[in-house]
Every structure is written in C-alpha cells, then in structure tokens.
Amino acid sequence: MTVQKHPTNGSSRRRAHQRRAVAWTFALFLALLLAGCGLFAAGQEEETVRAIRTPKPTFTPTATALPAPQAQPDAATPIPPAVAAAAPAAAEGGALLSSSPKAVINGPLVNIRSGPGTQFDIVATAERGTEYDIVARNPAGDWWSICCVNGAPAWVIAEFVDTDGAVDSVPVVGGTTPAAAPPAPAAPVPAAPPPAPAAQFDLRTQEQFPETAAVRIFMYVYSGNQALEGYSLRVTKDGVELPVTATSFGGQPAFTWPFQDARQRYQNFKVEFPGTPPAGIWDIQLIDRNGATAGPAARFILRDNDPEQELYVRYERR
C-alpha cells in the first residue's frame, strides 16, 4: 500500500525552521545590541566619572621670611664733624669741599694762633706760600679761621694771607677763648685811650714774646717795603706816661731776633724799661716827630713776673 505524504506537513516544517532561524537571528542581534549598549555605557560612565572627579590640592612649600639685612655704613662716606661752630673741625689731612676758599701765606714766618687775636697761643708758624682752607672769619673780618693745624682749625691774621675763592660766603664765628686770661691788676683800670683823630697809620698787629728781664718794645712803622723814619711811641703804664726818646729809622728794616725763628719780626724802633715793674696796663701809640698821634693805640696787660714782656706793634701807612 502506498502511503502518500501530506503536503501540509512539509510546509509546516519549513515554516517552523524559518521561524527558528528568525528567532535565533533576532536573539543574536539583540545580544549584540545589548553588548554594544553596555560598552558605550561603560565608556560614557568612565568619561563622566573623569569629568566630575574633584582635583586634589598640591602642596606648595611656604618660604620662611628672613629678616632684612642691616644697612652697612659706606666706608667712603666722610663722617661729618661734631661741632657747634660754623667751621668744621676736620682732622688734619681731611678733605674739605673743593669749593672752599683758600688762604695763601704771603709773608715769612707767619704765626698761626689758637684764636683770632695776638693774645692767643701760637700753635704753629707758616712759611710763605703755605696754603690752607678758609672755614670761618671773626666778626671784624681781620682774622681767618683755617684748616687744619695739628688736626684742628686755627687762626691767622688776614693781612698776612692772600685769599682765593668766595670768601664772602664763609661763616662768621666769635673765635676761641684763650686758655688762660691774665688776672686783672690790683690798681684801678683807667679808661681806654680815646681814638686817634685823623690817624695816618693802621695798627696791623700786636704780639707778645718771651722775655723776663725787662719790658721791651719793638715797633715796625712802614709803607710798602720801606721802613719810615722819624716816628716814635707814646707809652703809658696804668695811665702814667713813661719817657721815650728813641725814634724810628728808615730804609731797610732790622729784625727783632738775630736768627731765623718763629718769633723773628721786622723792626725799626726799640725801647726798654729796665727797673719798671711789668704788672699793669701798657698802652702804646704811634706819634709823629711833632708828638701828634699818628695811629691807634695797642693795649697790653702784664702780670708780676710775666713770662712775655717783649711787646711788638706794627703800623702801616694808609
């Protein structure tokens, strides 16, 4: 007997097989799809985590503040002199301003003193041509304070120097008080002599030098480089006039000291008073051959046993 296959069964099997193939294909696609989504999600999640990660602070060391270095003094800066006077007390050899006016000694063996006057001590003697800086002047303008002698300012009379520079700008100071002023004599002090009317001569200097044997007076009366003859001195002690007969000689002057020394001066008149006590006030005034006053008086105050009884005056014709 011949069995005939039903056509319906074969078609059903084919359709079932197709459905399984489609199902497996869909399942494979779905698996792949899910795998791809997971991969992308992981990458996205990793990027998201990286984007929101909080940055960690880095450690920066703090520098310790060191104290500021102390300013060191400049060794080349000169130390300003500690003085109250207008003239700086510079050490000897110290440099002053280059614009300081100069004093150039114009005479032989000029005395340099501790103050602006012949009553002050002699601290040095300067040769002609010696140059100093001018740092001050006295109120009368006839003495210059110069720098420096033995490390300190000193004084020189203006007539014995030539100046160079702006001397009008130097300060005016009162000078230095002498170390030891002579005591006042017991006798009453007479009034100062009246000023000489119409004097023909100027008193250029008055000085004292060591002498103990007797009071001795030297005078140099001159014009230019020539000594003038025929002049004398009126000498009074405590107001009492002493006898004087000598007169000055002219031409070439002599010296007060026989050899070159700090006390050597020109002179053309000399008078001595042996036996006259030195203590008292001595007034010395230039007179002409007729006894008329020709120049201002110079005053000296001496003590008993005074060590400086040699008196010196110098008069220059106007």
The predicted-structure confidence for 18-33, as pLDDT tens digits, reads as follows 777 777 777 777 777 6
Asked if residue 39 lies in contact with residue 31, where contact means CB atoms within 8 angstroms, the answer is: no
Return the percentage of the chain with pLDDT > 70, whole number: 66
Position 107 scores a pLDDT of 86
Position 279 scores a pLDDT of 95
Residue 80's pLDDT band (cuts 50, 70, 90): very low
Residue 15's pLDDT band (cuts 50, 70, 90): confident
pLDDT at 134 over 80: yes
Backbone angles phi, psi at 221, to 5 degrees: -115, 125
Pairing of strands 152-157, 143-149: antiparallel
pLDDT at 261 over 90: no
CB atoms within 10 A of CB 193: 17
Position 10 scores a pLDDT of 60
Q: Which of 211, 207, 210 is nearest to 219 (CA)?
A: 207
Q: Which residue has the tokens 């002049």?
A: 231
Choose from 57-66, 72-81, 289-298 the range with maximum mean pLDDT: 289-298
Asked if residue 130 lies in contact with residue 102, where contact means CB atoms within 8 angstroms, the answer is: no
What would the DSSP string read from start to end of 221-243? Answer: EEETTEE--S-EEEEEETTEEEP
Residue 259's pLDDT band (cuts 50, 70, 90): confident
Among 56-65, 101-110, 120-129, 283-292, the minimum mean pLDDT is found in: 56-65
- Per residue in 186-229, pLDDT (tens digit) is 656 666 655 544 568 999 999 999 999 999 999 999 999 899 99
Kindly tell me the burial class for residue 114, based on how many C-beta atoms sit within 10 Å of its own C-beta (0-12, 13-18, 19 or more).
buried
Give the integer Cα–Cα distance in Å for 156 and 142: 9
Give the integer Cα–Cα distance in Å for 318 and 315: 9
Among 43-57, 114-128, 171-185, the minimum mean pLDDT is found in: 43-57
Q: Which helix (H) or strand (E) holds 250?
A: none
Domains of the chain, CATH where assigned: 102-169 (2.30.30.40), 201-317 (2.60.40)
Position 195 scores a pLDDT of 53
71-90 mean pLDDT = 40
pLDDT at 246 over 90: yes
Residues in the chain: 318
Give the integer Cα–Cα distance in Å for 256 and 271: 12
Q: Which of 220, 222, 216, 314 is nearest to 268 (CA)?
A: 220
Give me the numbers of helices (H) and strands (E) for the chain, helices first please: 1, 18
pLDDT at 253 over 70: yes
- Per residue in 156-192, pLDDT (tens digit) is 999 999 998 888 888 988 745 445 555 555 656 666 6
Position 33 scores a pLDDT of 66
Greatest C-alpha distance within the chain: 209
The residues with which 190 forms a beta bridge, in sequence order, are none
- The model's pTM: 0.41
pLDDT at 87 over 90: no
Q: E strands within 90-129?
A: 102-105, 110-113, 122-126
pLDDT at 92 over 50: no
The mean pLDDT value of the chain amounts to 77
